[in-house]
Amino acid sequence: MIRTIIIGSCVSVQGIFVRSLQDGRIVIRADNREFSGFPIAKSA
């Protein structure tokens, strides 16, 4: 499942969902690298 996260004030990354963390962040994989950040809410 593709997810988008925000890391920093205006940097977002999109990639494949890996896992959820206890503090509300999620980990995604993009270009063989893992990034963690807060998920961006889905728009309707």
Confidence of residue 24 (pLDDT cuts 50, 70, 90): very high
H/E/C letters for each residue in 1-44? CEEEEECCCCCEEEEEEEEECCCCCEEEEECCEEEEEEECCCCC
Residue 41 C-beta-side C-alpha neighbours within 13 Å: 2
43 or 33, greater pLDDT: 33
pLDDT at 5 over 90: yes
pLDDT at site 44: 65
pLDDT at 42 over 80: no
* pTM higher than 0.95: no
% of the chain beyond a pLDDT of 90: 82
